[in-house]
Amino acid sequence: MGLTKTEIFSDKQNQLATALKAIAHPARIAILQQIIAAKACICGDLALELGLAQATISQHLKELKTAGIIKGTIEGVSVCYCINDEVWNTLSKQLSSFFASNEIDAKSCC
């Protein structure tokens, strides 16, 4: 087996899981932090900064891009990556409401 049964879950659940999965890796968290701090937004710089191979960083960037979290604009020979603010803010709100749904007072079991 080994295949997630996405069909039994709601679109919202699947989408949130996919977005979280894209962020749930230390290298990708580090990449996002670097991009946000604007210390580096170019693949090669990130590779040097983080100490991973260029191919590895490129792959992580692709995953973040596929998830819509970042977008890349061609800048001559290199590509400048930055946060996709729309997706970022939407995800931020989704997570906020997900975490807020656990109200401390309203406990009915345990």
Partner DNA sequence: AATATTAATCGTAATATTGCGATATAGTAA
Partner DNA sequence: TTACTATATCGCAATATTACGATTAATATT
Q: State the binding string over 3-42 for DNA (x if CB under 7 A, else -).
A: xxx---------------x---x-x--------------x
Residue 55 binds to a copy of itself (criterion: CB under 8 A): no
Residue 110 binds to DNA (criterion: CB under 7 A): no
Cα 103 → chain centroid: 26
Residue 2 binds to a copy of itself (criterion: CB under 8 A): no
Nearest to 57 by CA among 42, 76, 67, 37: 42
Q: State the binding string over 46-85 for DNA (x if CB under 7 A, else -).
A: ------xxxxx-xxxxxx--------x-x-xxxx------
Question: Which of 28, 64 has the CB closer to a copy of itself?
Answer: 28
